[in-house]
Amino acid sequence: MKAAEPTPSARDFLPTHLSLPALREAARDCRGCPLFQHATQTVFGLGRPSSRMVLVGEQPGDEEDKRGEPFVGPAGRLLDEALAAAKIARSDTYVTNVVKHFKWVAQGKRRLHQKPTGREVGACLPWLEKEIELIEPELIVCLGATAAQALLGSDFRVTVSRGRPIATRFGPPALATVHPSSILRQKTPADREREMKLFVADLAAAGRLL
């Protein structure tokens, strides 16, 4: 019987010398999963290399894909607002995503977000693992279910365990909350205000842990 070929992943593209600039450069040419074929570019993490807090989302969106930076679209602007309300300076954090390429489906002229598969998350995870290893943060904040399940296991539920620190295999504990895009999707201003308050409370709890 023919042996199964190894599943490609980002691990095949990691640089020999590990540093954040070297990782960022190597990630530009990552072919660990098919998502690179339809993305404009790799969107790597950005922020203080010595940050005590790493914020991890799911994947870049349309604006992030075009600009090459994480959390610069509508969800990023809401994140900035929430961080300020929680008295956390974004400049003191490192912001990244589990998946580094934008996965989308066309709807007319628009490119709509499409959730990455478990295979795509697993293929891209080595980049995040090395980011965490190099930064050595004291706390990881998972923004949304994809990030939380990638770091805390597929059974993790943000709705059940949000806002409290949980041990991880990466070293620092992780605290999970919602992704800011979920707040933008709320149907009424009252719903959005309620969810925003909860989101700020989770971020404030993260800040107090530091």
Q: How much is the pLDDT for 6?
A: 58
Q: How much is the pLDDT for 8?
A: 76
Is residue 34 over pLDDT 90?
Answer: yes
Q: DSSP labels for the chain?
A: -PPPPPPP-GGGG--SS--HHHHHHHHTT--SSGGGGT-SS----EE-TT-SEEEEES---HHHHHHTSSS-SHHHHHHHHHHHHTT--GGGEEEEESS-S--EEEETTEEEE-PPPHHHHHHHHHHHHHHHHHH--SEEEEESHHHHHHHH-TT--HHHHTTSEE--TTSS-EEEE--HHHHHT-SSHHHHHHHHHHHHHHHHHHHHH-
Angle (nearest 5°) at CA 119 between 7 and 29: 65
Q: Which residues contact 200 (CB under 8 A, 6 or more apart)?
A: 82, 85, 86
Question: Domains plus CATH for the chain?
Answer: 16-209 (3.40.470.10)
The residue written with tokens 């959730």 in the block is 115
Q: pLDDT tens-digit profile of 76-108?
A: 999 999 999 999 999 999 999 999 999 999 889
pLDDT bin (cut points 50, 70, 90) of residue 1 is: very low
Q: Which amino acid makes up residue 102? A: F
Q: pLDDT tens-digit profile of 127-145?
A: 999 999 999 999 999 999 9
The model carries a pTM of 0.93
Average pLDDT estimate for 61-73: 96
pLDDT bin (cut points 50, 70, 90) of residue 123 is: very high
Average pLDDT estimate for 102-123: 92
Phi and psi at 106, nearest 5°, equal -80, 135
Q: Which residues contact 37 (CB under 8 A, 6 or more apart)?
A: none
Angle (nearest 5°) at CA 116 between 55 and 195: 50
Mean pLDDT of the chain: 94
Q: Which amino acid makes up residue 19? A: S
Q: How much is the pLDDT for 114?
A: 92
Average pLDDT estimate for 58-64: 97
Average pLDDT estimate for 9-27: 95
pLDDT bin (cut points 50, 70, 90) of residue 3 is: very low
Can you tell me the distance from the alpha carbon of 25 to that of 66, in angstroms, rounded to the nearest whole number? 17
